[in-house]
Structure 1
Amino acid sequence: MPVRWKSPLLVLASIVCGWIGWSGEVLLLPLAMFFPLLWSKASSRSIAALVAAGYFLAASRGLPRGVANFYSADLWPGLVLWVVASVSFVVVHAVFWTRHVGDDASGKRGTAAAKALRYLLALMLTGLPPVGITGWAHPLTAAGVLFPGWGWWGLGATAILLVVMTGRRWQITVAVLGGLYVWSATNWTPPKLAPGWIAVDLKHGAELGRDGSLQYHRDLIAMVRGTITKRPDALVVVLPESALGFWTPTADRVWQEGLRGSEVTVIAGAAVIDARGYDNVMVAISADATKVLYRERMPVPGSMWQPWLRWTGQGGGARADFFGNPMVEVDGVRIAPLICYEQLILWPVLQSMLHSPQTIVAVGNGWWTEDTSIVAIQKANVSAWASLFSLPVVMAFNT
């Protein structure tokens, strides 16, 4: 192959990896693991940056349209945010890139170990805060497809494969990856549902949670009671993010009264507001009591989480509880809660897994993702993590 074609083909291949690997199909996630190979083959730091940009921008291609839907605007604000969000990923991979072993024009010889260590550092930085706040499309997510049921060992094995992919023996790694993929795809089974836990998807679009009337809550309660009637084995009913809108004492009383005579617990998304801003939460409701079960650790940066408002004394925006409540308990069951954006990044789910949960509960409000694959990617990610740790999963989304 002519040398002049090498760099364009690397960038093109990285775009393909990002586009197909993050298409919303869980079994295609391992394609993202070819990214470190393409990155390591770059002939210069600038080409490595272009490879990283191609992968990240292709993987997050739904963002411009999603932002346009959210703000009822044209594509330009979304395009700007799309590029800005890629900066941390691109910068990290540009900084940690190094030349191939033995091909430095200055005569200095690199080592395979140094290259592997550099990629390992990039892998860690893009998965953990602060860089990991925008750490979408992380290749480690593929662990659940390649090593279902292996838990932390599977995560470590995937990290080793990714690191070795940057070295001289990459052909062997590709062969191993191919074999693992064929075995996994042939034997793949979707994560099981938690017994007695029922997810209720809604199709309320942008109107979800914006109607604070008592009638809205009563209609939602009637729908929940109808679900319970059809499923007498129901123990917990899960509703999507923002299903309850603003959580108030009045709504609290209406729901407790509405569930009177039932032993079912309802988990639903809501917003708890005060003078300084709001928390995006999951609320647990039963006939006897209600409580804020979980406060979102990482709201969507920019549209929800706006820390500069607090820094400038303005207040407002969603609070990030960061490492606050990675595991919560409902009816004696330990759950790993994930709200919307947390399903796209690495560290919230790994933090939750450190606490040995018994099931994953993932909720989202994806009305703004119309004409994109964002919700499908969220579901694929959650399915992959549930498979890796052999956990049942409950997912409820509004579209």
Structure 2
Amino acid sequence: MMRKTRFLSLPRAVHTRSARASHLQNSLFAACMGIAVAVLAWYPGNDAITLLALPAAWSRLRGRTAAFVLWVTYYLAGARDIPIVCERFFTGYHELARPMALVFGLAFWLLQAIGLAMPWAVLKPGSAASGSSHLWRAMLATLIATLPPVGIIGWLSPLHVASTLYAGWRLAGIGLGMAALCAAATRPCWPRTWLAWAALAGLSGWAHWQEPPRSPPAGWLAVDTALGRFDQSSYPSLYERTTQLQAIARHAFASGATVAILPEEIAGLWRPAMTLWWRADIERMRAAGQTLIIGTDLVTSTVPLRYTDSVVVAGSGHGRFDSRQPVPVALWRPGAQTSATRGSVYQPDLMIGGQRVTLSLCYEDLLWWPHWRMLLKRPDVVVSMSNGWFDADLALARIQQQSIESMARMAGVPLLRATNR
């Protein structure tokens, strides 16, 4: 009897080992696919059409584990610079020792990938799910990972495929891009699926046939700087940075610019003395019809210290715009003694030199939701300002640029970008 029982259990054991091997192969394939798409879609690939492979593979993989592996490896590979960025940023400001900063960066790198992958794992359709189930699950997972609260870290969104397929179509293009993602997640079913793909391809061809991208306004100049990290610990360093920026602005205007754009936070935390230092230059700009767009931090309260990561328009123009989402943990730290505050997402675009300007401040370059207004009403120009002294040599800087270029292309407007390294 014992021999017979062992004989009967042998096929069951073989089947178990075979199932484990199959699950392992499934997960390995998912990991390779996630990494490959991250490389092909973002720096150095820069081919966003490959993002369609993610929902296609997601819907066809067996089990939630493989679906999770697909997306977590995609986000890990795409955001691969986070540990180095955290190490440089927090040690640069002497907030953490190098080992602790690196450990913190590794933890955040893992957590962001898990948080963005979870909606896709939870909403993974079963093998017997209908086509409509695949569709709405793909749509819901995309929205959850792109919009707040999860979308506060909603970088590398597959929605960037829309700007490749339907450039210039703004909100309609986003809707069609979402439809393309959902179609990729739906298993082929003649004739409905193939007819949908044909319609989406035809509309994409029409979008590419339409008007070419517009040029930036004449006389507008975005100035890149190489001033590094700003030491704001003393008035001599504040004054030195101010004189450097004044010289850069004067050179830009002397070269023929009527509107000069300097990077985000390049002037640091605005002190009363800086108003005095800039007064003569601003008066000269006003008299000459010149406008300076400059990034600075403006204090809103001193205890606890709260400030806005802002754009200030000076000279012949005037205005102010606050970042709608400062970098989480690095700048935006709710409850801490020092923190940037979030500006309203309903801030109107600025009118500068007769042009309606949509602004994107540093971290916002990576997110879709702060830019909802330009998807509804086309601005004249998108101005991006960044201060990447800690990542200028990393892939993150290129990915950030690709992301804001994608959004400007979606709106069908020219992009001017000023960065500091």
Structure 2 length normalisation: TM-score?
0.82
3-state SS of the aligned residue for 2:308? strand
Q: Which moved more, 1:255-264 or 1:37-46?
A: 255-264
Deviation at 1:371, TM superposition (A): 3.7
Tell me, in whole angstroms, the C-alpha distance in 1 between the residues paired with 2:292 and 2:154. Answer: 31
Tell me, in whole angstroms, the C-alpha distance in 1 between the residues paired with 2:232 and 2:386. Answer: 12
Tell me, in whole angstroms, the C-alpha distance in 2 between the residues paired with 1:385 and 1:350. Answer: 10
Q: Map Cα deviations across residues 173-193 of structure 1 (whole Å, 9 max, x no partner).
A: 889989999999999977632
2:314 to 274, 285, 293: 285
1:163 aligns with 2:182: yes
2:78 to 55, 59, 67: 59
Q: Which runs of 5+ in 2 are unaligned?
A: 1-20, 92-97
3-state SS of the aligned residue for 2:106? helix
Tell me, in whole angstroms, the C-alpha distance in 1 between the residues paired with 2:396 and 2:213. Answer: 19
Q: Which residue of 2 aligns with 1:107?
A: none
Write 1 or 2 for the structure with the bigger share of helix.
2
Structure 1 length normalisation: TM-score?
0.86
Given the superposition, is the C-alpha separation of residues 395 and 17 from structure 1 closer, same or farther in structure 2, using an over 3 Å criterion? same
2:250 to 195, 217, 225: 225
Q: Which amino acid aligns with 1:68?
A: E
Given the superposition, is the C-alpha separation of residues 24 and 301 from structure 1 closer, same or farther in structure 2, using an over 3 Å criterion? farther
Given the superposition, is the C-alpha separation of residues 114 and 148 from structure 1 closer, same or farther in structure 2, using an over 3 Å criterion? same
**Is the CA contact 2:38–2:78 (under 8 Å) kept in the aligned structure 1?**
yes
* Identical residues among aligned pairs (%): 26
**Is the CA contact 1:20–1:31 (under 8 Å) kept in the aligned structure 2?**
yes
Tell me, in whole angstroms, the C-alpha distance in 2 between the residues paired with 1:82 and 1:187. Answer: 40
Q: Which amino acid aligns with 1:366?
A: G
**Is the CA contact 1:22–1:29 (under 8 Å) kept in the aligned structure 2?**
yes
Q: Which residue of 2 aligns with 1:91?
A: 118
Tell me, in whole angstroms, the C-alpha distance in 2 between the residues paired with 1:188 and 1:93. Answer: 36
3-state SS of the aligned residue for 2:390? helix
Tell me, in whole angstroms, the C-alpha distance in 2 between the residues paired with 1:371 and 1:135. Answer: 23
Q: Which residue of 2 aligns with 1:239?
A: 262
Q: Which amino acid aligns with 1:239?
A: L
**Is the CA contact 2:323–2:342 (under 8 Å) kept in the aligned structure 1?**
yes
Q: Which amino acid aligns with 1:258?
A: D
Deviation at 1:135, TM superposition (A): 0.6
Q: Map Cα deviations across residues 140-179 of structure 1 (whole Å, 9 max, x no partner).
A: 1222222222222222211111001111129958899899
Tell me, in whole angstroms, the C-alpha distance in 2 between the residues paired with 1:188 and 1:71. Answer: 45
1:76 aligns with 2:99: no
Tell me, in whole angstroms, the C-alpha distance in 1 between the residues paired with 2:210 and 2:45. Answer: 16
Q: Which moved more, 1:79-88 or 1:196-205?
A: 79-88
1:151 to 170, 174, 192: 170
**Is the CA contact 2:246–2:281 (under 8 Å) kept in the aligned structure 1?**
yes
Given the superposition, is the C-alpha separation of residues 302 and 36 from structure 1 closer, same or farther in structure 2, using an over 3 Å criterion? same
Q: Which moved more, 1:298-307 or 1:12-21?
A: 12-21
3-state SS of the aligned residue for 1:193? coil
Q: Which residue of 1 aligns with 2:280?
A: 257
Q: Which residue of 2 aligns with 1:312?
A: none
**Greater Rg over alpha carbons, structure:** 2
Given the superposition, is the C-alpha separation of residues 380 and 326 from structure 1 closer, same or farther in structure 2, using an over 3 Å criterion? farther
Q: Which residue of 2 aligns with 1:195?
A: 218
Q: Which amino acid aligns with 1:377?
A: I
3-state SS of the aligned residue for 2:251? helix
**Is the CA contact 1:146–1:181 (under 8 Å) kept in the aligned structure 2?**
yes
3-state SS of the aligned residue for 2:339? coil
1:44 to 49, 63, 72: 63
2:355 to 319, 333, 338: 333
Task: For CA contacts below 8 A with separation 6 or more, give which structure has more relative contact order.
Answer: 1
1:361 to 357, 360, 383: 383
CA RMSD between the two structures? 2.9
1:125 aligns with 2:148: no
Q: Map Cα deviations across residues 208-255 of structure 1 (whole Å, 9 max, x no partner).
A: 777753343133112211111112xx2211000111111133322332
Tell me, in whole angstroms, the C-alpha distance in 2 between the residues paired with 1:52 and 1:219. Answer: 45
1:205 aligns with 2:228: yes
3-state SS of the aligned residue for 1:35? helix
**Is the CA contact 2:229–2:389 (under 8 Å) kept in the aligned structure 1?**
yes
Q: Which moved more, 1:359-368 or 1:213-222?
A: 213-222
Tell me, in whole angstroms, the C-alpha distance in 1 between the residues paired with 2:152 and 2:390. Answer: 20
Tell me, in whole angstroms, the C-alpha distance in 1 between the residues paired with 2:222 and 2:367. Answer: 22
1:8 aligns with 2:34: no
Tell me, in whole angstroms, the C-alpha distance in 2 between the residues paired with 1:317 and 1:357. Answer: 31
1:214 to 239, 263, 270: 239
Q: Which residue of 2 aligns with 1:272?
A: 298
Tell me, in whole angstroms, the C-alpha distance in 1 between the residues paired with 2:374 and 2:326. Answer: 16
Tell me, in whole angstroms, the C-alpha distance in 2 between the residues paired with 1:184 and 1:8. Answer: 37
Q: Which amino acid aligns with 1:11?
A: A
| Residue-pair matches, total | 380
Q: Which amino acid aligns with 2:395?
A: S
**Is the CA contact 2:170–2:411 (under 8 Å) kept in the aligned structure 1?**
yes
Tell me, in whole angstroms, the C-alpha distance in 1 between the residues paired with 2:208 and 2:114. Answer: 34
Q: Which amino acid aligns with 1:281?
A: S
3-state SS of the aligned residue for 1:23? coil
